Amino acid sequence: MPTKHFPQFISVEDSSLKTQLGHWHHADDLIRTTEYGQIQGTQISIKGIDKVVNVFLGIPFAKPPVGSLRFSPPQSLDSWSNVRDATTHSPVCLQDVTPLGKMAVAMKVNIPIPSNSEDRLYLNIYVPDHTKDGDRLPVTANLSACDRHSSASMVQCLRNKSEGEILAITKHFKIIPVAVDGQFLPKHPEELLAAGEFHHVPSIIGVNNHEYGWLLPFFILKIFKFLVAIRGIPPKLGQLMIEEYLRDTEDPGEYRAQFQEIMGDFLFVIPSLKVAKYQHSHSSPVYFYEFQHRPSVLTDVKPDFVKADHGDELPFVFGTPLLGEGTEEEQLLSHRIMNLIHWPVYDQKEEYLPLNLQLSVGKSLRKDKWEFWTKTLPQKMKESQPENARVEL
């Protein structure tokens, strides 16, 4: 399968890939003035669409968090005098790229291995060509052996480590939970959402109908139990979750489907619905979708039981089927997704948009499982706490 079919949001620095996605034009007059200095952008016209987009890539918004600034709050950026080139992506986040190779083998695709760096405080901005100076637009951003007894000494030690050493250290921490530091996160994220302490801007939130479909071979039941543990759920209640989904069955296919469902709900669907409900409750417009179409280009890559897996909607959002090798129906679906105007607001009616070859309006996504995750399970957790650990309100 050609590389261009794999969602290219890891890196689009390769010039041949840019040609595949559309026609890139260097515009000498595409210079904009920011708070810190001028930037030179570029233009792209997507194949199959008579529209031009102004693109500004790798725009810094804080000093690089390297050296003594590693693990420190963001520092204000210094201004620059020359026109800054904003036509190429910055490297991706510092990470172990070995899993990309394993994924490429499993999915039978060629994944370009990108360069990576801890210097990742940059924005990529895409602006309609017809935009006037001063217009306020929504922005899509891609943000991109020490003493362990003293936090201060450990941080100082880690600041002196190389990127390679930092990467080696992180391999021992497969999942790092959220840390409430009092600065970047003054409270736990769910507390902030519940209190309405967030920017009240319109949001599009979505999931896919087979989240975790192709990720399933990489994880198994013991991983699920580990995830349950780090979420603070007692093992006995982890068993309750298994019983809710993994009902008695002798059919391996049914067992697989049920396990896929519990992992998708646990990691993606229920958290996304929570955020949508919190934002709506504080009068922030929310538009929700569930992508349901199985991409035809993955027919020979993913097994038949996988429909729309995690990330499968992204090529349709960015127009990949319009490159010519998607079906006519998929090209139409991509057009529709990129130009959607009429979209039900996710409010008390809980209406959302199922994105498939035939568009419709859905209601109360995963309602039965929502009740389990937000009412049954929390109540059981409360009951399982030791008597002396309870706090009477």
What's the whole-number mean pLDDT along residues 254-265? 82
Task: Give the model confidence (pLDDT) of 48-101 as tens digits.
Answer: 667 788 889 999 989 998 888 888 888 899 999 999 999 988 888 888 777 777
Which residues are CB-neighbours of 257 under 8 A, at least 6 positions away? Answer: 305
Q: Which pLDDT belongs to residue 302?
A: 78
Q: Is the pTM of this model over 0.85?
A: no
Q: How confident is the model at residue 210 (pLDDT cuts 50, 70, 90)?
A: confident
Q: What is the largest CA-CA distance in the chain?
A: 70
Least confident span in 109-123, 206-220, 283-297: 206-220
Q: Which pLDDT belongs to residue 291?
A: 96
Q: Which pLDDT belongs to residue 15?
A: 35
- Domain definitions of the chain by residue range: 1-163, 174-393
Which residues are CB-neighbours of 312 under 8 A, at least 6 positions away? Answer: 208, 291, 293, 294, 295, 298
Q: How confident is the model at residue 20 (pLDDT cuts 50, 70, 90)?
A: very low
Residue range 174-393 in CATH 3.40.50.1820: yes
Burial of 5 per CB tally in 10 Å (0-12, 13-18, 19+): buried
Beta bridge partners of 123: 59
What's the CA gap between 346 and 353, in Å, rounded? Answer: 9
The answer to whether 110 and 301 are in contact (CB under 8 A) is no
Task: Give the model confidence (pLDDT) of 105-126 as tens digits.
Answer: 766 667 677 788 888 888 888 8
Q: How confident is the model at residue 144 (pLDDT cuts 50, 70, 90)?
A: very low
What's the CA gap between 337 and 317, in Å, rounded? Answer: 6
Task: Report which of 169, 393, 170, 201 is spatially closest to residue 279, judged by C-alpha positions.
Answer: 201
Least confident span in 2-6, 63-67, 181-185: 2-6
- Give exposure, 340-377, as e/b (b: 16+ Cβ within 10 Å): eeeeeebeeebbbbbbbeeeeeeeebbeebbebbeeeb
C-alpha 161: how far from chain center:
29
